[in-house]
């Protein structure tokens, strides 16, 4: 009789344990999802830069390769205004609820300068870098990439880490020729 009771208890315990949920879909706020996606962008891009560096390819050169892949698929008919707006739009996607807002410093039909809070990068890269890549190297890669993309629009772009800000400059090549 004891064996039957013990066997019955074991069977019921096995059924109840196997019926428990092992995984539950996390319930995240929109802000948490956004912050995680920003982190994942940097986390997915940095290893490519590290790989390039390990093969004696500079972050800028890697960015040039990367940018050529994307430059061919752009609607460049929008010219300077379209490109400058897309750069602003893309940086805005990285600004989290806890960050400062983007500040526009200069805007005209041939020159656009704005500042993005640098902590959207520095929170991941910090002073030591992330997976062997510094924030400065990430910007070098992005400058290489954007040199290809902006060039297809007839523009020039540059991103510089300046303390609490990433300063982004987009200009028309027409403006550059006039200088």
Each domain of the chain, given as residue ranges in start order, spans 29-178
For domain 29-178, the question of CATH label 3.30.1380 is answered with yes
Q: Is residue 19 predicted with pLDDT exceeding 80?
A: no
Q: In what order do the strands lie in the sheet with 111-117?
A: 103-107, 111-117, 165-172, 155-162
- In this predicted model, what pLDDT tens digit does every residue of 136-174 receive, in sequence order? 999 999 999 999 999 989 999 999 999 999 999 999 986
User: From CA 127, how far away is CA 129, in angstroms rounded?
Assistant: 6
Is the pLDDT at 92 greater than 90? The verdict is yes
pLDDT tens figures, 36-89:
999 999 999 999 999 999 999 999 999 999 999 988 888 788 889 999 999 999
Is the pLDDT confidence value at 7 over 90? no
Q: Is the pLDDT of residue 1 over 80?
A: no
DSSP letter for 104, please: E
- So what's the pLDDT on residue 18? 62
Q: What value does the mean pLDDT of the chain take?
A: 89
pLDDT in tens, 98-145: 899 999 999 999 999 999 999 999 999 988 899 999 999 999 999 999
Of 13 and 135, the structure prediction assigns the larger pLDDT to 135
Cα 17 from Cα 9, distance rounded (Å): 12
Instruction: Work out the burial of residue 124: count CB atoms within 10 Å of its CB; fewer than 13 is exposed, 13-18 middle, 19 or more buried.
Output: buried
pLDDT at 122: 94
- Through-space distance between the first and last CA atoms of the chain, rounded to whole angstroms: 99
**pLDDT at res. 72:** 82
Secondary structure element (H or E) that encloses residue 158, with its range: strand 155-162
């Amino acid at each position: 009789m004891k064996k039957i009771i013990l066997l019955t208890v074991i069977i019921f315990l096995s059924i109840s344990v196997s019926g428990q949920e092992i995984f539950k879909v996390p319930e995240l706020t929109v802000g948490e999802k956004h912050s995680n996606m920003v982190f994942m962008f940097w986390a997915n891009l940095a290893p490519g830069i590290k790989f390039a560096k390990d093969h004696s390819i500079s972050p800028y050169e890697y960015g040039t390769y990367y940018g050529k892949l994307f430059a061919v698929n752009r609607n460049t008919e929008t010219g300077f205004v379209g490109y400058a707006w897309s750069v602003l739009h893309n940086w805005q996607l990285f600004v989290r609820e806890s960050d400062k807002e983007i500040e526009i410093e200069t805007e005209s039909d041939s020159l656009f300068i704005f500042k993005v809070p640098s902590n959207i990068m520095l929170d991941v890269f910090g002073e030591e870098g992330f997976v062997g890549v510094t924030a400065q190297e990430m910007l070098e890669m992005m400058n290489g990439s954007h040199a290809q993309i902006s060039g297809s629009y007839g523009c020039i772009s540059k991103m510089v880490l300046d303390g609490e800000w990433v300063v982004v400059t987009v200009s028309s090549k027409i403006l550059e020729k006039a200088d």
